[in-house]
Amino acid sequence: MNLIQAITLGIAQGLTEFLPISSSAHLRIVPAIMGWEDPGAAFTAIVQIGTLAAVLIYFAKDIVSISGAVISGVLKGRPLETDESRTGWMIAAGTIPIVVFGLAFKDQIETVLRSLYWVSAALILLALVLVVAEKHTANRARDGRRGKAIKEITWTDAIIIGLAQALALIPGSSRSGVTITAGLFRNLDRETSARFSFLLSLPSVFAAGAYQLYKTWDVITATNDNMIAIAVATVFAFISGYLSIAFLLSYLKRHSTGVFIAYRLILGVSLIVMIAAGKLSPV
pLDDT digits (tens, 9 = 90+) for 23-71: 878 888 888 888 888 777 677 777 888 888 998 999 999 999 999 999 9
Task: State mean pLDDT over 203-220.
Answer: 79
Residue 5: helix, strand or coil by DSSP? helix
Task: State mean pLDDT over 195-223.
Answer: 83
- Does any domain span residue 282? no
> What is the rounded end-to-end Cα distance, in angstroms, of the chain?
19
pLDDT for 283 beyond 80: no
- Does any domain span residue 152? yes
- Does any domain span residue 206? yes
Q: What are phi and psi of 128, to 5 degrees?
A: -70, -40
* pTM, 2 dp: 0.86
- Does any domain span residue 217? yes
Asked if 66 and 85 touch (Cβ cutoff 8 Å), the reply is yes
Taking the CA atoms of 122, 36, 202 and 253 in sequence, report the sign of the dihedral they define: negative
pLDDT for 88 beyond 90: yes
pLDDT tens-place string over residues 132-165: 999 999 999 888 888 898 889 999 999 999 999 9
| 135 contact partners, CB below 8 Å, separation of at least 6 | none
pLDDT for 180 beyond 80: yes
- What's the number of domains the chain is made of? 1
- Does any domain span residue 197? yes
Task: State mean pLDDT over 237-245.
Answer: 94
pLDDT for 171 beyond 90: no
Task: State mean pLDDT over 241-264.
Answer: 93
- Does any domain span residue 179? yes
Confidence class for position 8, pLDDT limits 50, 70, 90: very high
pLDDT for position 159: 96
- Does any domain span residue 161? yes
% of the chain at pLDDT higher than 90: 54
In the DSSP assignment, the letter for residue 115 is S
| 258 contact partners, CB below 8 Å, separation of at least 6 | 134
pLDDT tens-place string over residues 106-124: 888 878 888 889 989 999 9
Task: State mean pLDDT over 254-274.
Answer: 93
Give the residue numbers spanning the domain of 124: 3-276
- Does any domain span residue 283? no
Confidence class for position 245, pLDDT limits 50, 70, 90: very high
pLDDT for position 257: 93
